């Protein structure tokens, strides 16, 4: 079911139907400049998560875990907040393939038990099930149990919740929780997002119900397990809630292949893609798509092999998430099939509670949380055009008055990464380069949105490298990224001495930079952030100087959270001996530090975008110059 260079006729017909049935939100067109892939050795497959942590002594029930857990994770360019204040905070734990359940951090998603239990009848009150005779992989007991509604508010993790499960003819099973607090950081307070998951051929859709139930309870948003993997079913599911702002499509096996073909066609209504043991359509290249893509594959899968999944990863966006699990093909579903057998088996599934929890957290709930997936504007991308960076042309970019010379842009593929990520490097002339500045993008923001500020920094003598982040969350999946830059042998960094590197980032990118400084207290000489945060990293005894530049009209904390400002972060968590007072940028706001469009809850700046980014760059350079080792 692959797409050709243009959508087949059926796509055009379906788009006409969709335009009638669904209001498509305005959004920027898909970015088209990502740089060509280069050949080179691929990294070894990620070690497969295989078991629950030692503390997991019992299998969690579907209703375990905090109901509003996703209120504690980052959104577009979101600031970091103190965990003691109960406010949103980016998890700094790193997904560990040998233990996929974070030992700490804000996300704890309810999941059902491992998928190796025998089948049973649906629980009382569950929606009527269709005949299972057409499926070679019927659901197991945990799957059918996940269809049980909660009609009377029941105490679950401190909140009285309900959940409605319906079997909609021609569409599939829908899951919607009630009385769940949806933070504005994850699209709240109303239900504004949804997930549609397509089953593998031969697998009863009910076999994915535990994922759907846990996701609905944790996020509060709308989840559909489609009855089949047809285009019409997807559109029918979307038509059930035409009021939703964003959707995430996903699927297992062929269901994932169909979802992958549809996601770019239905963009910008569809912003995310979940692939479980699925291949991309043969002619589909998503490397330039502004989609949140998460691809999981089984290390022991003989249906969609690990080599197939890794080859397809070359056609995924550079910030896509790719993870290997110690699973066979059918282990991804809660069915009576297991490993690679397309039929009921007695051998048992390899899906453990810990692996299921990891999949639910990062592969179902995570994309709903980050479904906005902000894209760099054409203006931002124009700063990556060296023709425009050359002074003296009609289209040349304006240089600051204290410019040290022409800036050169290079898009460099990060060695050993899969999907292939990028270093976006802005370099002043080598003979005037005073040092290097590593920049981490804000949460869920296209790394290229920071091209303008990076150019302005480089134009004043500091090489600036923006690191594209896996999952667009700084420091969570790739905590050693800055170290790779500092010790890289790439000639582009040759003009920067090893002791002349500083680090920073915008918003949650600043938080990721702070986490790096906490783990590497002497690797960089300064932490210089743009509206960033320190918590939950503790730098109170760290020797690294900290600077935080914040617009005076930055209001991303939203209604009722105005007291959670950056000022509350710096003093308790920074070393008072080296942490500078908050540096105000008069008239600036949050989202104009980058160039990715309006950000909800932020105030409108009273300075232009050009002026704010030039001023921010000037302040960064001023502090880099004053703090750099002589």
DSSP 230-282: -HHHHHHHHHHTTT-SEEEEEEETHHHHHHHHHTTTSTTTEEEEEEES-PPPT
Is 128 part of any domain?
no
Number of domains in the chain: 2
pLDDT value for 21: 37
| pTM, 2 dp | 0.80
Measured CA angle at 584 (ends 583, 588), to 5 deg: 140
Per-residue pLDDT at 180: 87
Contact between residue 228 and residue 251 where contact means Cβ atoms under 8 Å apart:
no
Query: How confident is the model over 42-74, as pLDDT tens digits?
Result: 233 333 333 333 333 333 333 333 333 333 333
Per-residue pLDDT tens over the stretch 131-141: 444 799 999 99
pLDDT digits (tens, 9 = 90+) for 242-257: 999 999 999 999 999 9
In sequence order, the β-bridge partners of residue 439 are: 466, 504
Pick the closest to residue 595 from 383, 452, 429 (CA basis): 452
429, 522: one domain: yes
Give residue 350's pLDDT: 85
Give 368's pLDDT tier (boundaries 50, 70, 90). confident
Assess whether 451 and 306 both reside in one domain. no
Peptide linkage before 280 cis (omega within 30 of 0): no
Is residue 548's pLDDT more than 70?
yes
C-beta separation of 441 from 595 below 8 A: no
More confident residue, 235 or 29: 235
* Cross-sheet strand order for the sheet of 246-252: 150-156, 159-168, 172-178, 222-226, 193-198, 246-252, 270-276, 292-298, 321-325
**Statement to judge: residues 444 and 357 lie in one domain:** no
Residue 430 belongs to some domain of the structure: yes
pLDDT at residue 339, rounded to an integer: 92
Least confident span in 205-214, 299-308, 357-366, 441-450 = 357-366
CB 304 within 8 A of CB 297: yes
Neighbouring residues of 301: CB distance < 8 A, sequence distance ≥ 6: 277, 309, 327, 328, 329, 340
Question: What is the per-residue pLDDT across 470-501, written as a single tens digit (0 to 9) for each?
Answer: 999 887 788 889 999 999 999 999 999 999 99
Residue 325 lies in a domain: yes
Residue 195's H or E segment, with its range, is strand 193-198
Q: Do residues 322 and 439 both lie within one domain?
A: no
pLDDT at 28 over 60: no
Give the pLDDT score at 190.
Answer: 86
573 in a structural domain: yes
105 and 73 Cβ atoms separated by less than 8 Å: no
CB count in 10 Å sphere of residue 335: 29
Same domain, 20 and 166: yes
Listed range (21-25, 210-214, 257-261, 533-537) with the worst mean pLDDT = 21-25
How many CA atoms are closer than 13 Å to the CA of 589, on its beta-carbon side?
A: 20
* Phi and psi torsions of 382, nearest 5°: -65, -20
**Do 280 and 199 share a structural domain?**
yes
pLDDT of residue 182 exceeding 60, the answer is yes
Beta-sheet pairing, 527-530 with 159-168: unpaired
Distance CA(389)–CA(406), nearest Å, equals 7
Mean pLDDT of 173-184: 89
Beta bridge partners of 96: 99
Token pair for residue 401?
A: 């008055």
Residue 94 neighbours by CB under 8 Å, 6+ apart: 476, 477, 479
pLDDT band at 17 (very low <50, low <70, confident <90, very high): very low
Q: Report the C-alpha gap between 506 and 443 in whole angstroms.
A: 8
CB 70 within 8 A of CB 217: no
- Helix segments in 294-405, DSSP class H: 306-312, 353-358, 366-369, 378-382, 386-389
Q: By residue range, what is the domain housing residue 622?
A: 378-627
**Per-residue CA distances from 537 to 359, 527, 575 (Å):** 26, 13, 12
Complete DSSP assignment for 471-531 = GG-TTTS-TTHHHHHHT---GGGTTS-GGGEEEEEBTHHHHHHHHHHHH-TTTSS-EEEES
**pLDDT for residue 271 is more than 60:** yes
Question: In this model, does residue 524 exceed pLDDT 50?
Answer: yes
Of 322, 352, 369, the last residue of a domain is 369
Looking at the predicted structure, is the pLDDT value of residue 231 above 70? yes
d(CA 358, CA 105): 13
- Of the pLDDT bands very low, low, confident and very high (cuts 50, 70, 90), residue 93 is very low
Q: 183 or 268: which carries more pLDDT confidence?
A: 268
Higher pLDDT, 566 or 292: 292
* Residue 468 and residue 349 share a domain: no
> Could you say which of 325, 346, 369 is where a domain stops?
369
> CA 200, 56, 156, 333: dihedral to nearest 10 degrees?
10
Same domain for 230 and 287, yes or no, is yes
> What b/e string do you get for 576-598 counting C-beta neighbours within 10 Å, with b at 16 or more?
eebbbeebebebbbbbbbbbbbe
Between CA 569 and CA 24 the distance in angstroms is 39
d(CA 417, CA 322): 10
72 in any annotated domain: no
Residue 344 carries which DSSP code? B
Domain boundary among 346, 369, 392: 369
**Residue 20 belongs to some domain of the structure:** yes
**Both tokens of residue 462?**
């500091």
pLDDT of residue 366: 84
3-state secondary structure of 568: helix
The mean predicted confidence, pLDDT, of the chain is 80
User: Of 152-161, 412-421, 609-618, which gets the smallest average pLDDT?
Assistant: 152-161
Q: Give 324-354 pLDDT, tens digit per residue.
A: 999 999 999 999 998 998 888 776 788 898 9
* pLDDT of residue 97 exceeding 50: no
Which SS3 state, helix, strand or coil, does residue 194 take? strand
Mean pLDDT of 562-572: 46
- pLDDT for 128: 53
Per the CB < 8 A criterion, the answer to whether 166 and 224 are in contact is no
CA distance 141 to 130: 16
| Confidence (pLDDT) at 557 | 59
Domain match, 465 and 322 both: no
Domain CATH code at residue 264: 3.40.50.1820
Q: Are residues 489 and 576 in the same domain?
A: yes
Instruction: Show the CA angle centred on residue 268, arms to residues 265 and 269, nearest 5°.
Output: 90
At residue 378 the predicted structure's pLDDT band, cuts being 50, 70 and 90, is very high
Choose from 48-62, 184-198, 199-213 the range with maximum mean pLDDT.
Answer: 199-213
User: How large a percentage of the chain has pLDDT more than 90?
Assistant: 60
Measured between alpha carbons, how far is 377 from 361 in angstroms, rounded to an integer? 30
pLDDT, residue 6, reads 40
Kindly state whether residues 388 and 365 are assigned to the same domain. Answer: no
Q: Is residue 122 one of the residues assigned to a domain?
A: no
Q: Is residue 568 part of a domain?
A: yes
Whether 298 has a pLDDT exceeding 60, the answer reads yes
471 and 336 in one domain? no
pLDDT score recorded for residue 212: 96
Phi/psi at 329 (5° precision): -65, -45
Q: Shortest CA distance to 474 belongs to which of 515, 437, 415, 436?
A: 515
Dihedral sign computed on CA atoms, order 587, 590, 596, 598 = negative
Cβ atoms of 92 and 537 within 8 Å: the answer is yes
Residue 132: other Cβ atoms inside 10 A? 14
Q: How far is the C-alpha of 214 from the C-alpha of 186, rounded, in Å? A: 16
DSSP calls for 401-427? TT--S--EEEEEEPTT-SS--EEEEEE
């Amino acid at each position: 079911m692959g797409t050709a260079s243009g959508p087949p006729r059926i796509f055009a017909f379906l788009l006409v139907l969709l335009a009638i049935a669904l209001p498509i939100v305005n959004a920027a067109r898909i970015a088209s400049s990502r740089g060509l892939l280069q050949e080179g050795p691929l990294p070894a497959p990620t070690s497969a998560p295989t078991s629950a942590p030692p503390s997991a002594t019992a299998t969690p029930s579907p209703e375990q875990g905090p109901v509003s857990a996703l209120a504690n994770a980052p959104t577009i360019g979101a600031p970091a907040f103190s965990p003691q204040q109960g406010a949103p905070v980016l998890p700094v734990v790193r997904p560990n393939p040998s233990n996929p359940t974070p030992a700490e951090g804000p996300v704890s998603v309810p999941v059902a038990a491992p998928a190796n239990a025998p089948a049973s009848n649906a629980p009382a009150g569950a929606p009527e099930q269709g005949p299972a005779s057409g499926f070679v992989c019927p659901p197991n007991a945990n799957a059918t149990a996940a269809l049980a509604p909660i009609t009377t508010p029941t105490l679950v993790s401190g909140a009285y919740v309900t959940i409605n499960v319906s079997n909609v003819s021609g569409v599939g099973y829908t899951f919607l929780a009630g009385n769940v607090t949806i933070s504005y950081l994850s699209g709240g307070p109303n239900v504004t997002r949804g997930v549609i998951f397509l089953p593998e051929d031969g697998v009863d859709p009910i076999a994915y119900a535990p994922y759907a139930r846990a996701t609905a309870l944790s996020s509060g948003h709308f989840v559909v397990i489609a009855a089949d993997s047809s285009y019409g079913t997807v559109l029918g599911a979307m038509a059930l809630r035409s009021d939703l702002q964003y959707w995430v499509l996903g699927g297992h096996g062929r269901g994932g292949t169909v979802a992958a073909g549809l996601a770019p066609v239905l963009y910008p209504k569809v912003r995310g893609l979940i692939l479980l043991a699925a291949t991309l359509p043969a002619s589909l290249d998503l490397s330039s798509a502004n989609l949140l893509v998460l691809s999981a594959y089984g290390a022991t899968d003989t249906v969609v092999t690990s080599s197939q999944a890794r080859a397809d990863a070359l056609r995924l966006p550079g910030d896509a998430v790719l993870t290997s699990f110690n699973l066979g093909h059918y282990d991804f579903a809660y069915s009576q099939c297991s490993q690679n057998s397309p039929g009921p088996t007695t051998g048992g599934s390899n899906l453990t509670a810990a692996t299921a929890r990891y999949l639910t957290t990062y592969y179902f709930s995570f994309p709903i949380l980050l479904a906005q997936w902000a894209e760099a504007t054409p203006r931002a991308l124009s700063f990556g055009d060296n023709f425009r960076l050359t002074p003296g042309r009609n289209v040349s970019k304006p240089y600051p008055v204290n410019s040290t010379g022409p800036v050169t842009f290079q898009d460099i593929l990060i060695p050993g990464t899969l999907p292939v990520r990028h270093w976006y490097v802005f370099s002043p002339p080598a003979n005037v380069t005073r040092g290097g500045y590593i920049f981490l993008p804000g949460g869920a923001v296209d790394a290229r949105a920071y091209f303008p500020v990076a150019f302005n920094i480089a134009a004043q003598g500091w090489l600036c490298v923006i690191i594209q982040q896996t999952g667009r969350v700084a420091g969570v999946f790739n905590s050693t990224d800055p170290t790779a830059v500092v010790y890289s042998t790439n000639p582009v960094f040759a003009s920067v001495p090893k002791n002349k590197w500083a680090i920073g980032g915008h918003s949650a990118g600043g938080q990721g930079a702070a986490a790096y400084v906490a783990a590497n207290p002497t690797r960089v000489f300064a932490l210089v952030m743009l509206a960033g945060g320190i918590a939950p990293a503790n730098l109170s005894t760290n020797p690294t100087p900290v600077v935080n530049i914040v617009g005076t009209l930055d209001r991303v904390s939203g209604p009722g959270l105005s007291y959670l400002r950056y000022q509350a972060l710096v003093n308790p968590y920074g070393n008072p001996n080296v942490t500078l007072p908050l540096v105000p940028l008069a008239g600036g706001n949050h989202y104009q530090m980058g160039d990715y469009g309006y950000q909800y809850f932020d105030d409108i700046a009273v300075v232009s975008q050009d002026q704010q980014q030039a001023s921010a760059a000037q302040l960064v350079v001023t502090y880099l110059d004053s703090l750099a080792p002589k």
